Amino acid sequence: MTSLLPTSHVVNATRPLGWTFRSVALVLAWVGFGTLASGESGDWKDHIGYTQLVGVLGSATPNGNGVPISLVEAGGATPIYFPNTADSDFGAASDPSGTAVVFTDGSGGQSNGSSSHATSMAKNFFGNTSSIAPAANAVTVYDAGGFISNVLRAPNGGTPLPQNFRVQNHSWIGSFAADANNPTTAELNNDRRALRRYDYLIDTYEITALVGLNNNTASLPRLLGQGYNSIAVGRTDGVHSSGLTNLVDYGVGRSKPDLVVPRTTTSAATASASSAATLLHSAVLAGGEDAAKSETMKAILLAGATKEEFPSWSRTTTQPLDDTFGAGELNVYNSYLMIEGGQTVGSTDATGAMVETVSSSGWDYQTVNPGGDLFYNFEVPVGSTAEELSILLAWNVEVTDISPGPAFTGSESLANLDLALYDSSAGFLDTLVDTSTSTVDNVEHIYQTGLGPGTYTLRVSGAPSNPTERDFGLAWRLNTLFDTPSADFDEDGDVDGFDFLTWQRGFNTLLGAPHAIGDANGDGDVDSADAAIFGATFGPAPPPLALSSAVPEPTALAMLIAGMLWLPTRRRRVHLPT
């Protein structure tokens, strides 16, 4: 029989609105409601680049349509874990596809009633107005205790059951320990078994799994935040459990969280990250099988994260993520551009002659052999500076059943992959710029700013000690700017109506835009930032006979420019001529 635990048994009594219970010798807790609080500055969708994405793509913005997803909720002693399915946020009227959410009960207790926490998380994850994946309408809901015991079949059951979901959300924390601060050896072993089983599921069924942390700076919860293959989510304000994993015999020393989101609770942050992952999965449904792999999508989410919000953000060559903010703040616009940039297959040519230059944003999913290398070239054009180069390598820990029989006995194998970035301008691999060589993590991260013009080569290496080849996901974004911005797109010595028409024709080119089609600042796209440079440098019009009747007069043109500058653009510095 399940029972509500008194406060003395709460995993952390300071978490807001934290109901805690034991079920099947398991202590679970919500990690806070996910409503937009008055303390959140602005709209979280603005901060993560979603508003910008909609401003560019409009009705073509991916919305989660066709992506099967799952919500796992801490349900209490009864348990009560289901959202209120009658909420208008799940109805057909406001759904972009005119379809209501179809809920499937994975744990058999929907009749117990609805949970306000589950409803809030569902709205943040796939609600029509609250989420960024409103067309994700096939949702399976589990009670967290039932998920642990009946799906993972932890701690000592058979092989975990298949999970055919692309994204799964866990806005809860837990442990098998009755007192999380004083666990017994047996309880710690059960926590490890649960983590191994979930890492097995993620790797086997290619799930993008977003898991929550606590709403204070106490020690990391063991379930599920200390897994390898999931993505642990914190808050942009840093008020969440963070630091290095500490579960002995299951990967001590890895930084958590992996990613942060600008919400006021970790529950909402996790559900919002799940919503972003669902949007991105819907962008790769057509022919993007490798981009949908759990390793690749993790790399795309983390490589897209921004650091400008965190003056203290740091990494080292042996610690790829920041202890508090992970890879940084979720940015769905950056991640979408990496999907759009497409796959570039790494080269095995150690001479450099056959190494391909990648697009400014992109990804790869490959297999690296023990002792093998793969190479990728990045190009910073002459007259430009790389404002940012963000590269993220992710691979899964592999969990196998080492004692086939009635019980699943999981054992993990962690490959050791490394990144190295070289300046190859004077010769292939001529000068080492940076490395990421953690021996305990299953991610590596290189983040550079202010790189000058030239050719840079990334090397992905598999350690000779690796027992077998290993699949990995790789994602990158290279953001460049001209040292001297120019809106003289036809290079005739002035900035006039013809240049505005060039910008207008090239507007909303997202990647690979040359200066000649309207990229004034050198960032590879044509957007309102380029229009701002045009407006600041617009010069006298040529004689009237030189102008086509289709070109606006200077006064009308100036008004048109002003009208265009409301359009969203990237949050980055725009250097205007002085």
Tens-digit pLDDT profile for residues 88-106: 999 999 999 999 999 999 9
Last residue of a domain, one of 283, 316, 351: 283
Same domain membership, residue 379 and residue 443: yes
DSSP state of 577: -
pLDDT of residue 181: 85
Single pTM value for the model = 0.90
Same domain membership, residue 520 and residue 406: no
Mean pLDDT along residues 352-375: 94
Q: Note whether residue 24 is domain-resident.
A: yes
Q: Cβ(242)–Cβ(217) under 8 Å?
A: yes
Q: Note whether residue 317 is domain-resident.
A: no
pLDDT digits (tens, 9 = 90+) for 245-298: 999 999 999 999 999 999 999 999 999 999 999 999 999 986 678 999 999 999
Q: Note whether residue 246 is domain-resident.
A: yes
H or E element at residue 234? strand 231-235
Same domain membership, residue 112 and residue 146: yes
Same domain membership, residue 119 and residue 240: yes
Same domain membership, residue 76 and residue 149: yes
Same domain membership, residue 496 and residue 443: no
* Interhelix angle 497-506/554-564, nearest 10 degrees: 30
Same domain membership, residue 376 and residue 258: no
Last residue of a domain, one of 420, 452, 481: 481
pLDDT digits (tens, 9 = 90+) for 449-461: 999 999 999 999 9
Same domain membership, residue 278 and residue 218: yes
Q: Note whether residue 36 is domain-resident.
A: yes
Query: Domain tally for the chain?
Result: 3
pLDDT of residue 394: 98
Long-range contact list for 482-485, CB < 8 A, 24+ apart?
482/383, 482/384, 482/515, 482/520, 482/521, 482/522, 483/383, 483/384, 483/385, 484/383, 484/577, 485/520, 485/521, 485/522, 485/533, 485/574, 485/575, 485/576, 485/577
Last residue of a domain, one of 255, 283, 311: 283
pLDDT digits (tens, 9 = 90+) for 503-552: 999 998 999 999 999 999 999 999 989 999 988 998 754 444 343 444 45
pLDDT of residue 281: 97
Q: Note whether residue 299 is domain-resident.
A: no
Could you tell me the pLDDT band of residue 464, with boundaries at 50, 70 and 90?
Answer: confident
Q: Cβ(224)–Cβ(40) under 8 Å?
A: no
Query: What percent of the chain is modeled with pLDDT above 70?
Result: 86
Cα gap 524→571, rounded to integer Å: 15
Whether the pLDDT of residue 167 is over 50: the answer is: yes
pLDDT of residue 556: 56
Q: How buried is 467 (Cβ within 10 angstroms: 0-12 exposed, 13-18 middle, 19+ buried)?
A: exposed
Q: Note whether residue 307 is domain-resident.
A: no
Residue in 362, 357, 358, 360 with CA at minimum distance from that of residue 340 = 362
Q: Cβ(25)–Cβ(41) under 8 Å?
A: no
Q: Regarding predicted confidence, which is higher, 107 or 551?
A: 107
Domain CATH number, residue 125:
3.40.50
Residue range(s) defining the domain that contains residue 162: 3-50+61-283
| Average per-residue pLDDT for the chain | 88
Mean pLDDT along residues 355-362: 96
Domain CATH number, residue 446:
2.60.120.380
Same domain membership, residue 522 and residue 472: no
Could you tell me the pLDDT band of residue 553, with boundaries at 50, 70 and 90?
Answer: low
Indicate the SS3 state at residue 175: strand
Q: 241: phi > 0 → left, psi -120 to 50 → alpha, else beta; which?
A: beta
Q: Note whether residue 477 is domain-resident.
A: yes
pLDDT of residue 122: 98
Distances (CA, A) of 33 to 22, 29, 180, 261: 20, 12, 22, 15
Same domain membership, residue 177 and residue 91: yes
Same domain membership, residue 141 and residue 8: yes
Same domain membership, residue 145 and residue 241: yes
Q: Note whether residue 79 is domain-resident.
A: yes
Give the β-pairing of 167-170 and 138-143. unpaired
pLDDT digits (tens, 9 = 90+) for 398-436: 999 998 889 999 999 999 999 999 999 999 999 999 999
Could you tell me the pLDDT band of residue 304, with boundaries at 50, 70 and 90?
Answer: very high
Domain CATH number, residue 558:
1.10.1330.10
